[in-house]
Structure 1
Amino acid sequence: MKVGFIGLGNVGGKLSGSLLRNGIDLTVHDLNAALVDDFVARGAARGKSPAQLMRDCDAVITCLPSPAASDAVMQEMLPEVTEGKIWMEMSTTDEAEAKRLGAMVIERGGAAVDCPVSGGCHRADTGNISIFAGCDRDTFERILPFLTTMGRRVLHTGELGSASILKVVTNYLATANLVTCCEALVTAKAAGMDLNTTYEAMKISSGTSFVHETESQVILNGSRDISFTMDLVKKDAGLFYEVAKRNNVPLEVAPMLVDIFDDGIARFGERELSPNIIKRLEEATGLDILAPGFPPEMLDDEPEEPGYEVIPQGKEQQAAE
C-alpha cells in the first residue's frame, strides 16, 4: 500500500521518518522544499501537490499546524478521493472539524480517521509515541499496520472525531501540569531549596508526571526546548475549552490557563517555546530556575519496538459479558 504524507514539521517529519525507516512506500509533500529534499535523499518519493498524493496513494496522512491548514489541503485533495481511499488526520484539530472534513471523504467513497499522537517529539522520532484513532473498526484494522509503525501504543477511541476530543483532553492536562510544575519549581527555589533535589523529590513522589520528567528537565537546563510553542498551547487549550462549552461543562481552571498563555504570548511572543511560560514567574521573583546536569533537549532512550493496540481497561470483560 502506498502512503502519502503531507506536513513534515516537528511532529510530521518524525512520524513520516518512522514510515520511511521501516520500508513503507512513501511519498511526501510540504511547503518547505528543503524538508522534502531531505526525505527524497533518504528514499521517499517527491509529491507534487496534495491532489497528486491523493490520486496516486492508497492512504494520505496530514499532519498540519491548524484546522485552517487541514481544510485548505482537503479542498485540494477532495476531487481525487475515490472508493477505497483513506484520509488520516494526524494534526491536533477540533472534533467538529475532523467530522466535517471526514464526512466529505466518506461521501465520495473514502474512509476518514482522526489519529493524533501524544507523548512528545522525542518519542515520535523513535516510533514509540502513542496514537489515538477515531474511525469505524474495519478502517482501523486496515490502517493498524501503519499506526503501529509510527507509534508503540495505539488506541481505537471510537467513531470519527473521538480521537480529537481525547487529544485535546490530554494536551489540556499536560498544559495544566506544565503550569503547576513551573509554580512548584519557583516556589521551591524561593524557599531556599536546591533545585536538583527538588526535581528528584517531585520525580519519586506522588507529584511526578510525564510532563515533570520531560519538560522540567529542559526548564532546569535553560534551553526550554520541548519543540512546542506558546501559540500551539493556546490553540490546544482553546480547542479543549470549546469541547467543554459545547457540552455545557462549567470549567474553572481552563479559562485561567488560556489567560496565562495569552499573557505569555503578549510578553514573549507567540513562537516562544512553551516551557518559557516559567519566565513570568522568574521575572516576578527575580529568580533563575536553573540547575546543572539536565539535558538541553529530550531524547528517547527506549529502543524502537513494534507497536500494538491498547485495549481499554474493562473492555475485554465487557465484551465477554
Structure 2
Amino acid sequence: MKVGFIGLGNVGGKLAGSLIRNKIDVQVHDLNADFVSAKVAQGAKDGKSPAQMMQSCDAVITCLPTPDASAAVLEQMLPHVAPGKIWMEMSTTDAGEVKRLAELVAAQGGAAVDCPVSGGCHRADTGNISIYAGCDRATFERVLPILTCMGRRILHVGEVGNSSILKVMTNYLATANLLTLCEALTVMKAAGMDLGMTYEAIAMSSGNSFVHETESQLILSGSRDVNFTMDLVQKDIGLFQKLADTFDVPLEISPLMIEMMSDGQRRYGARAQSDRMIERLEEATGLSLLAPGFPRELVDDEPEEPGYEVVPNR
C-alpha cells in the first residue's frame, strides 16, 4: 500500500519514521517544511498537500494536535476520497467528531479508521507503542500490516469512535497518576526519604505504574520534558470530562485535575511540559525534587519487534 502521513510532530514524526524504517512507500506532509525535509532525507516522499496525497495514496494517516486541525485537513482530502481509499485518524480526538468525519468519508465510498496510540513518544520512536483501532473488521484487516509497522500491540475495538473514547480514558488515568506521583514524591522528600530509594520503593510495589517508570525519572533528573505539553493534557482530560457529562456520570477527581492543570498553565505557560506540575509543589514547600542518576531523556530499551493483534478475553 502507498501510505500518506500528515502531521510530523512529537508523536507523528516518530510514527512516520517507523513506516519509513519498515520500507513502506510513504508520502509525508506538515506545515513545518523542515519536518518534511527530514523525513524525505530518511526515504519518504514529499506529499505536497493533503489533496494530492489522498489522490495518490491508498491510505492517508493524520496525526494532528486538535480536532479542528483534523477536520480542516480532511476537508481538503474529501473531494478525492473514493472507493478503496482509507483515512486513518491517529490524533487524540473527540469520539463524536471522528464519527462525523468518518461518515463523510463513507459517503464518498471510502473507509475510516480511528487509531490513536498510547505509550509515550519514546515507544513511538521504536515501533513499540500500543494502538487502538476502531473500524469494521474488513478495514482492520487491510490496515493491520501498516499498524504493525508502527506499534507492538494492536487492539481492534469495534466501531469508529471507540478508540477515541478509550484513548481519552487512558490519558485521564495517566494524568491522575502524574499528579499523585508529584504529591507522593514531595511528601517523601519532606519526610526525609532519599528520592532514589523512594523511586525504587514505588517501582517494586503495588503503587508502580507506567507513568512512574517513565515520568518520575524525568521529574527527578530535572529534565521535566516528556514531550507532552499542558495544553494537550487539558484537551484530553477535558474530552474525558465531556464524555462523563454526556452520560451523566458525576465525577469528583476530574474537575479538580482540570483546575490543577489550569493553574500549572497560568504559572508556566499553556504549552509548558506537563511534568513541570511538580514545580507547583516545589514552590509551595521550598523543597527540590531532584536526585542523581536519572536520565534527562527517555529511551525505549526494548528491542523492536513485529507488531501483533491483541485479542481480548470475552
Q: Same fold (TM over 0.5)?
A: yes
Alignment partner, residue 265 of structure 1: 265
Alignment partner, residue 68 of structure 1: 68
Alignment partner, residue 243 of structure 1: 243
CA–CA separation in structure 2 for the residues paired with 1:193 and 1:40: 50
Q: Which amino acid aligns with 2:38?
A: D
Indicate whether 1:47 and 2:47 are aligned: yes
Could you tell me how far 1:98 is from its partner in structure 2? Answer: 0.5
Alignment partner, residue 180 of structure 1: 180
Alignment of 1:50-199 (within 5 A): 50-199=50-199
Summarize deviations over 1:264-320 as a string: whole Å, max 9, x none: 00111011110111111110000110000000011000000000000112x2xxxxx
Q: Which amino acid aligns with 2:174?
A: A
Alignment partner, residue 254 of structure 2: 254
Q: Which amino acid aligns with 1:38?
A: A
Could you tell me how far 1:42 is from its partner in structure 2? Answer: 1.5
Could you tell me how far 1:248 is from its partner in structure 2? Answer: 1.1
Summarize deviations over 1:168-189 as a string: whole Å, max 9, x none: 0000000000000000000000
Q: Which amino acid aligns with 1:32?
A: N
Alignment partner, residue 274 of structure 1: 274
Q: Which amino acid aligns with 1:72?
A: A
Alignment partner, residue 295 of structure 2: 295
Could you tell me how far 1:129 is from its partner in structure 2? Answer: 0.2
Could you tell me how far 1:28 is from its partner in structure 2? Answer: 0.3
Gaps of 5+ in 2: none
Alignment partner, residue 8 of structure 1: 8
Task: Give aligned pairs, total.
Answer: 314
Indicate whether 1:210 and 2:210 are aligned: yes
CA–CA separation in structure 2 for the residues paired with 1:297 and 1:272: 16
CA–CA separation in structure 2 for the residues paired with 1:309 and 1:246: 31
Could you tell me how far 1:43 is from its partner in structure 2? Answer: 1.4
CA–CA separation in structure 1 for the residues paired with 2:261 and 2:308: 36
Could you tell me how far 1:244 is from its partner in structure 2? Answer: 0.9
Alignment partner, residue 226 of structure 1: 226
Percentage of matched positions with identical amino acids: 69
Q: TM-score, normalised by structure 1?
A: 0.97
Q: Aligned with 2:207: secondary structure?
A: coil
Could you tell me how far 1:46 is from its partner in structure 2? Answer: 0.4
Gaps of 5+ in 1: 316-321
Could you tell me how far 1:69 is from its partner in structure 2? Answer: 0.4
Alignment partner, residue 26 of structure 1: 26
CA–CA separation in structure 1 for the residues paired with 2:291 and 2:190: 14
Q: Which amino acid aligns with 1:104?
A: L
Alignment partner, residue 318 of structure 1: none
Summarize deviations over 1:6-31 as a string: whole Å, max 9, x none: 00000000001000000000000000
CA–CA separation in structure 2 for the residues paired with 1:147 and 1:42: 20
Q: TM-score, normalised by structure 2?
A: 0.99
CA–CA separation in structure 2 for the residues paired with 1:251 and 1:85: 40
Q: Aligned with 2:280: secondary structure?
A: helix
Q: Which amino acid aligns with 1:56?
A: S
Moved over 3 A (4+): none
CA–CA separation in structure 1 for the residues paired with 2:273 and 2:295: 16
Q: Which amino acid aligns with 2:176?
A: A
CA–CA separation in structure 1 for the residues paired with 2:52 and 2:251: 44
Summarize deviations over 1:99-138 as a string: whole Å, max 9, x none: 0111100111000011000000000000000000000010
Could you tell me how far 1:47 is from its partner in structure 2? Answer: 1.0
